[in-house]
Structure 1
Amino acid sequence: MDKYSALTTLVCVVEQNSFSRAAEQLGKTPSAVAKTIAGLEAELGARLFERSTRRIQLTEAGRLYAQAAREALACLGQASEAIGQLQRELHGELRIAAPLGFGAAFLGEVCARFALDHPQLRLQVDLSDDDQVILGSGHDLILHEGACDLPGLIARPIGRNEIVLAASPAYLARQPLEVRLDNLLEHDWLLYWHPALNRHIWQLRRGEEVRRLELPVGRLLSGNYDLLLSSALAGLGILHAPLWSVAPYLADGRLVRLLPDWMVDPDAFGAHILAVYPSHRRHAHKVQVFIHYLEQYLREQQLA
């Protein structure tokens, strides 16, 4: 049995939680994947999975062996990277996960530049707003908003997650009311819905002065931030927005920052953009090089 291939197959089955999806990911047949797992079980003298017609589940032995397999593959990967570094070039694959909004706002451009600068490195970029999926995904690097205190993960701040109020010139032209603290509830709002966010109260700060305000009723409410941003650009209303998502539109005039003297207090997503990676990857050269590259970009855009 090719042990490296067998361990890779095991880890893929665990990550995909499916023999058939793992087979598709690996370019193998489901029967070949099942045969590999059966070979490992025969060699160990223990079952790695409990199987039923509907799902598979790791046994206690399976959890122990899958963790050991991950660590072994990580060590081999780091050795390969070290050899690549001797040749002064990044090789292999870098798997990145991030929220959907990061893709269009800055991650797409950063990845394109990075890939051009490192032609021997493959990038896999997965975008999702499901924290549970992303943080448990096994990626080399996760870009994240909000607290991250899961064991085995290092969370490093790399940029600001500052919240601003913005609207298009078209909205401001058709709306006779000047935007002031005392009439915010009379304006049209585009509100992002997320279970972690307070749906009743938000807070603004100017120096030592703090205003605790009722959250307005949204003209448009959505769990898809891209839809809200498009609606703001189209002139539908005021957007409560992370600065990283609207910085290009503020720069070119398609959006206008409102109440610029006031800072919106960080919400449940926190005050920072975080680079999150497994502790056993802390010395992985390609991870650290990408983080440094991204930090430089955010600094250039005045977002760090």
Structure 2
Amino acid sequence: MDKLSALTMFVATAEHGSFSRAAEHLGKTPSALTKAVAHLEAELGARLLVRTTRRMALTEAGQIYLEGARQALANLHQAGEEVGQLQHELRGTLRLIAPPSFGPAFLGEACRRYMRRHPQVHLEVDLSDTFIDLIDGSYDLALRDGPTELPGLIARPLTENRILLCASPAYLQRKQLPVTPDNLAEHDWLMFRHPLLNRHFWWMRQGDKRIRYDHPTPRLTSDNYDFLLACLLDGQGLQVLPRWSAAPYLARGELVQLLPEYWLEPDAFGPWVHLLYLAHRRQTRKVVAFIECLDEYLAEQGLAWRP
């Protein structure tokens, strides 16, 4: 029996929990799937599935073999896509995940460029702060700030995570109070709440001097970055935010950078936003093409990483 077909039928049976449902999904007969699994079990010398009149379950050996079979089929599918794209335009699906704040800041524009240039590629973009393990093969690419020391992954800097203090012209006109290091507590503050961020103080640098500033009492806190950004643009207070997010608003005059002679340390998010991908996908054409779109847009905004 063809090994690839047998693996495909075993994975389908395990995922559907039934020979009949898997057979319907694959367009085959239940007896064909039964023979395929029996062939694999004979080859391995181990039971993969326990079958009773009511249910089907994976054995311990079956659980181990299922993960390997899934990975093997995914690798073959990926290789087939790459071979097909050597002489044709890019096709297939590109799956990526990033924090929600990256979407409106730069990821959305990169995706639109990519779709215009490669109309045969389907994009699946998940915007989530949830930690996702790329090793399971669900995603081709991740964008992430914060810790990147992850086994089996390549992390490449994408853009600097430089933190700015900003306000809108409307707020500065309404408040009529200059912003200085000595009067920060007298201003209205918008605070982003995140598990990786210190809730009590910032470290700020001026030249070689490192200064600790306690957080002022905020007028508004939220765990939703886009909600706070809208309030910042509406003139509701001061906010610290990364340059990659503030850049277009600063260029249009919708925000003003305050205390530019001070540099705020980026806290646990780290100094860089990184691209993360599996080592065997670094030369995948659809991944390389997407990274080119990201780098191109960030370079236009003056935000690109320079090695």
TM more than 0.5: yes
CA contact (8 A) 1:143 1:274 kept: yes
After the TM superposition, which of the residue ranges 109-118 and 199-208 deviates more from structure 2? 199-208
Mapped to 1, the partners of 2:279 and 2:115 lie a distance apart of 25
Mapped to 1, the partners of 2:58 and 2:217 lie a distance apart of 44
The 5 A counterparts of 1:265-280 are 265-280=265-280
CA contact (8 A) 1:161 1:271 kept: yes
- Over 3 Å counting, the alpha-carbon distance change for 1:162 and 1:262 in structure 2 is same
Provide the identity percentage.
Answer: 41
The 5 A counterparts of 1:105-116 are 105-116=105-116
Letter in 2 for 1:73: A
TM-score, normalised via structure 1 length: 0.82
Mapped to 2, the partners of 1:238 and 1:266 lie a distance apart of 17
Q: Which residue of 2 aligns with 1:241?
A: 241
What SS does structure 1 have at the residue aligned with 2:93? strand
Q: Which residue of 2 aligns with 1:117?
A: 117
Letter in 2 for 1:169: P
TM-score, normalised via structure 2 length: 0.81
* CA-to-aligned-CA distance 1:11-38 (integer Å, 9 cap, x gap): 9x5xxxxx69xxxxxxxx7895798998
Question: Superposition RMSD on alpha carbons, in Å?
Answer: 3.2
The 5 A counterparts of 1:112-261 are 112-132=112-132, 138-261=138-261
Mapped to 2, the partners of 1:294 and 1:194 lie a distance apart of 25
After the TM superposition, which of the residue ranges 224-233 and 177-186 deviates more from structure 2? 177-186
Q: Which residue of 2 aligns with 1:94?
A: 94
CA contact (8 A) 1:97 1:134 kept: no
Mapped to 2, the partners of 1:39 and 1:159 lie a distance apart of 53
CA contact (8 A) 1:7 1:69 kept: no
CA contact (8 A) 2:202 2:214 kept: yes
* CA-to-aligned-CA distance 1:124-149 (integer Å, 9 cap, x gap): 11111112478867200001111212
Mapped to 1, the partners of 2:220 and 2:157 lie a distance apart of 32
Structure 1 position 211, deviation (Å): 1.5
* CA-to-aligned-CA distance 1:77-121 (integer Å, 9 cap, x gap): 12321321223x211111111110111111111111111111121
Which ranges of structure 2 fall in alignment gaps of 5 or more residues? 51-56
Which ranges of structure 1 fall in alignment gaps of 5 or more residues? 14-18, 21-28, 50-55
Letter in 1 for 2:83: A
- Over 3 Å counting, the alpha-carbon distance change for 1:8 and 1:86 in structure 2 is farther
Mapped to 1, the partners of 2:234 and 2:117 lie a distance apart of 36
Q: Does 1:294 pair with 2:279?
A: no
After the TM superposition, which of the residue ranges 221-230 and 284-293 deviates more from structure 2? 284-293
- Over 3 Å counting, the alpha-carbon distance change for 1:134 and 1:285 in structure 2 is closer
Q: Does 1:66 pair with 2:67?
A: yes
Letter in 2 for 1:81: E
Structure 1 position 158, deviation (Å): 1.4
Q: Does 1:46 pair with 2:39?
A: no
Mapped to 2, the partners of 1:193 and 1:4 lie a distance apart of 46
Letter in 1 for 2:246: V
- Greater Rg, structure 1 or structure 2? 2
- Over 3 Å counting, the alpha-carbon distance change for 1:212 and 1:119 in structure 2 is same
CA contact (8 A) 1:78 1:284 kept: no
